[in-house]
């Protein structure tokens, strides 16, 4: 199943994607729902972020090749930081280039979407707490990211967490092809089998630190190939079995 959230004719709803059409639901994927008998053509709806996270919990340096490219040590424990809820935007929305930065980078990432209240769970329980997976871009003001300091400023600007287009429930997160393109040119290409810390481990680990709420997202880290974007650019993150998250950059 692939869940989306969308607006159509002035109303906002969750729905499922099937054969290029959107079938709305009464309810949400988090609380239970009844599917409508109607469907809409995908290009007749405005897709929104597929969930509304209270926070994005992000993992740094979770691919060995990326740690090496920025000359960082491969971490013994996950490097964790938070993006505030205002970072969230959906597919096709604009990433706004902040006046405070002179270098804003893309980071294509697999995101875990939490399905229910999650607190102090074992790794073996993680799957039952995950609704599914989506694409994310951990947009980063690289020039404002101190190597050994906290990353909230560099990672926390409004619009710096595009997610979408859909939440896929039927993918194996341990082996998904991931690609990030800038203006159609491939810049990052890897597979989630290269993750240092697995999705199930991360959900369990984080749940012993903070409560995770339905709709919260965990960005699992980026592979090598990070680089800058500028206003006017189009950035795409494509993950096998999920789809393509496409955003533009505006000044
Ligand atoms: Mg990242």
- pTM value is 0.97
The verdict on 135 and 83 lying in the same domain is yes
Contact 144, 154 (CB under 8 A): yes
Domain range for residue 60? 56-250
The CATH number linked to 27 is 2.30.30
Q: What is the mean pLDDT of the chain?
A: 96
Scanning the chain, the segments in alpha helix (DSSP H) are 64-69, 152-155, 199-207
State how many domains the chain has: 2
Ligand 1 centre to CA of 37 (Å) is 40
Q: Are residues 86 and 150 in the same domain?
A: yes
Residue with tokens 């013994």: 76
Element (H, E) at 136: strand 130-137
C-alpha 79 – ligand 1 centre gap (Å): 10
User: Model confidence over 33-81: pLDDT tens digits?
Assistant: 999 999 999 999 999 999 999 999 999 989 988 888 888 888 899 999 9
Residues 136 and 178 in one domain: yes
Q: What percent of the chain has pLDDT over 70?
A: 100
Taking the centre of ligand 1 as the mean of its atom positions, its distance from the CA of residue 58, in whole angstroms, is 7
What's the gap in Å between 216 CA and the centre of ligand 1? 16
Which residues lie closer than 8 Å to 123 by C-beta, 6 or more apart? Answer: 200, 201, 203, 204
Interatomic CA distance for residues 156 and 56, integer angstroms: 10
């Amino acid at each position: 199943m692939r869940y989306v959230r969308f607006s159509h004719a002035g109303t906002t709803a969750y729905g499922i994607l099937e054969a290029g059409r959107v079938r709305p639901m009464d309810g949400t994927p988090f609380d239970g729902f009844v599917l409508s008998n109607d469907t809409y053509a995908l290009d007749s709806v405005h897709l929104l972020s597929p969930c509304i996270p209270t926070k994005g919990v992000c993992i740094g340096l979770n691919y060995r090749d990326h740690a090496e490219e920025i000359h960082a040590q491969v971490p013994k424990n996950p490097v964790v930081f938070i993006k505030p809820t205002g970072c969230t935007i959906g597919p096709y929305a604009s990433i706004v280039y902040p006046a405070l930065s002179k270098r804003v980078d893309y980071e294509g990432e697999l995101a875990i979407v939490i399905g229910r209240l999650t607190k102090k769970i074992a790794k073996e329980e993680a799957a039952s707490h995950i609704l599914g997976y989506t694409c994310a871009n951990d947009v980063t003001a690289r020039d404002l990211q101190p190597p050994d300091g906290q990353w909230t400023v560099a990672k926390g600007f409004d619009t710096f967490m595009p997610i979408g287009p859909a939440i896929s429930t039927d993918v194996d997160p341990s082996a998904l092809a991931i690609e990030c393109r800038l203006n159609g040119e491939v810049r990052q290409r890897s597979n989630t089998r290269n993750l240092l810390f697995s999705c199930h481990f991360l959900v369990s680990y984080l749940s012993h630190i903070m409560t995770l709420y339905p709709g919260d997202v965990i960005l699992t880290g980026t592979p090598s190939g990070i680089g800058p974007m500028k206003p006017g650019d189009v950035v795409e993150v494509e993950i096998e079995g999920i789809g393509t998250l496409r955003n533009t950059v505006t000044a």
